[in-house]
Structure 1
């Protein structure tokens, strides 16, 4: 997008200027308005518009910390183009330390929303009309949920050439082929013809510095690749590309103990966990069903039969 004249939320952002805008979310029953701060940094030179988005789920604090760190280090001040930062997207969930909106809805299943729907749907609609059309690229930062921890990975549709190339540039240890979930923010941006990457790392309500560093470095790599920042893209070891994946499930109810670390490569029939009862009557081994990489795991000490315990690769390259 050429940003020779860039207007957002009714306000023109001049070249070379930093602007903090407020997106109205809702009016509370106390008559106070709840607003989301949006930090916009525009270069003196035209270029792409990149959105850095954290906290779509309010309890996913690693994503908030990644965007915050980018702002703190002034990495969001581009040499070319415009960077829009929204550190806390779901401000209701962030304040309540919960995943959902106050109406119990998952905001990431409400897009593009409607003007007359639920609170979450109204917010999704407002964002879809007033922010989404004006960006070209999106980095959406997430973590695991419901007691699950994700090893740092980037998700995209591998068949979409541009997003796959950006995923490789990002530099996370794993790239996971992931189809678009209906009514997700990612699907909504794709339908608008925008390129979006979803980063996953760590778990809810926890700050993991290695995950934060991976997200910050990945964002910088993307900006360098797009010509928005100067310098060379810094990618270490080539990523493992996971074309197909599945969740392994608990063979029984009981206490759960993982014997491997998240991010590990394991071999066929390797004992990767144990499930046992609190009375010392049984203990079951969980075996790797094939050679695979583990990039997500359950961190709960107690599981029920059928609970997802390891997210593993089925096909890689």
Structure 2
């Protein structure tokens, strides 16, 4: 007997390779917006892995990672099933915005509702018609609002299996992060699914290094789960990540022009000068000193900031 997999009402049999179109909403003009769900199932039974990007429409670096997985044929398993969704929030992707058309953050609407807002209905359909089939999920994200994340994976500290998968994924950093209420990761965990969240890059931007880290991590996880053997494609397979137990934001004390003196991924110490904020006229400039020792996980790439804006996220080592 093989495991039953049904996606969008269609049974997926061993050996099937197909793309289904998820159509649950239309534009004002009644034009369809369809989301491709790319499904490949091997003849040999095994785990089901969902590879997902674009929950936020402006997080295009995750889309590029999943696109490369598909374009290079890495999504075709020798064992088990791989479901690829390169762009979930196609509405936001088309408009180059983070939100759904109703103004809501899709990643705060799970598991959703049949009678709720557009984003809530969409989240509900995606969980019930697609995602519930998965045993594991790789969920690709980037930093929002021009804040650049150094490539890392996030997971709940209490989940030992996810800790193992994070080690396998092999980014330089793995960060313990509590699940956000109503996020996709939180909703999947409640039904017993394992979601490893990747963060890298910034909104509306592609970065080759981040793309490579995400692609390599996905190949390592697929190999670890027995879906396929990517020994010839994987580099640096045994990299041991630095564990980030907690993180602290450094915020602007004043509004003005922001300059960073450090790079993401860099190790810093208490008292180090990290950057400065000045007025645009040359009258004043205030240096930013670190209150923590750790690693620069996130850095704001906006040149103008307001008082209280997040400038850097410092990862504190375990």
User: Which TM class, normalised by the smaller chain length?
Assistant: over 0.9
Mapped partners of 2:31, 2:175: distance in 1: 42
> C-alpha deviations, 1:63-94, integer Å up to 9, x for none?
10000000011111011100000001000000
Residue 243 of structure 1 aligns with which residue?
Answer: 245
Q: 2:219·2:230 contact (CA, 8 Å) conserved in 1?
A: no
Q: 1:250·1:306 contact (CA, 8 Å) conserved in 2?
A: yes
Mapped partners of 1:147, 1:69: distance in 2: 23
SS in 2 for 1:103: coil
Q: 1:8·1:130 contact (CA, 8 Å) conserved in 2?
A: yes
> C-alpha deviations, 1:151-183, integer Å up to 9, x for none?
000000122101111011001111011101010
> C-alpha deviations, 1:222-260, integer Å up to 9, x for none?
011111111557435421110111111112111100000
Residue 227 of structure 2 aligns with which residue?
Answer: 228
Q: CA offset at residue 4 of structure 1?
A: 3.6
Residue 295 of structure 1 aligns with which residue?
Answer: 297
Residue 80 of structure 2 aligns with which residue?
Answer: 81
Q: 2:170·2:217 contact (CA, 8 Å) conserved in 1?
A: yes
Is there any run of 5+ residues in structure 2 with no aligned partner, and where?
none
Residue 263 of structure 2 aligns with which residue?
Answer: 261
Residue 279 of structure 1 aligns with which residue?
Answer: 281
Residue 91 of structure 1 aligns with which residue?
Answer: 90
Larger mean Cα displacement after TM superposition, 39-48 or 237-246: 237-246
Question: 1:136-175 residue pairs with structure 2 within 5 A?
Answer: 136-175=135-174
Q: 1:3·1:81 contact (CA, 8 Å) conserved in 2?
A: no
SS in 2 for 1:85: strand
Whether 2:28 is the aligned partner of 1:55: answer no
Residue 212 of structure 1 aligns with which residue?
Answer: 211
How many equivalent residue pairs? Answer: 315
Q: CA offset at residue 48 of structure 1?
A: 0.4
Q: 1:3·1:47 contact (CA, 8 Å) conserved in 2?
A: no
Q: 1:25·1:36 contact (CA, 8 Å) conserved in 2?
A: no
Residue 131 of structure 1 aligns with which residue?
Answer: 130
SS in 2 for 1:163: helix
Q: CA offset at residue 3 of structure 1?
A: 4.6
Mapped partners of 2:30, 2:178: distance in 1: 41
SS in 2 for 1:139: strand
Q: 2:6·2:129 contact (CA, 8 Å) conserved in 1?
A: no
> C-alpha deviations, 1:38-62, integer Å up to 9, x for none?
0001111000000000100000000
Normalising by structure 1, report the TM-score. Answer: 0.96
> C-alpha deviations, 1:84-141, integer Å up to 9, x for none?
0000100000000100011100000001111111110110111121112211000000
Q: CA offset at residue 28 of structure 1?
A: 2.8
Whether 2:312 is the aligned partner of 1:313: answer no
Q: 1:141·1:200 contact (CA, 8 Å) conserved in 2?
A: yes
Residue 120 of structure 2 aligns with which residue?
Answer: 121
Normalising by structure 2, report the TM-score. Answer: 0.96
Q: 2:35·2:90 contact (CA, 8 Å) conserved in 1?
A: yes
Q: CA offset at residue 24 of structure 1?
A: 1.4
Q: 2:292·2:314 contact (CA, 8 Å) conserved in 1?
A: no
Residue 37 of structure 2 aligns with which residue?
Answer: 38
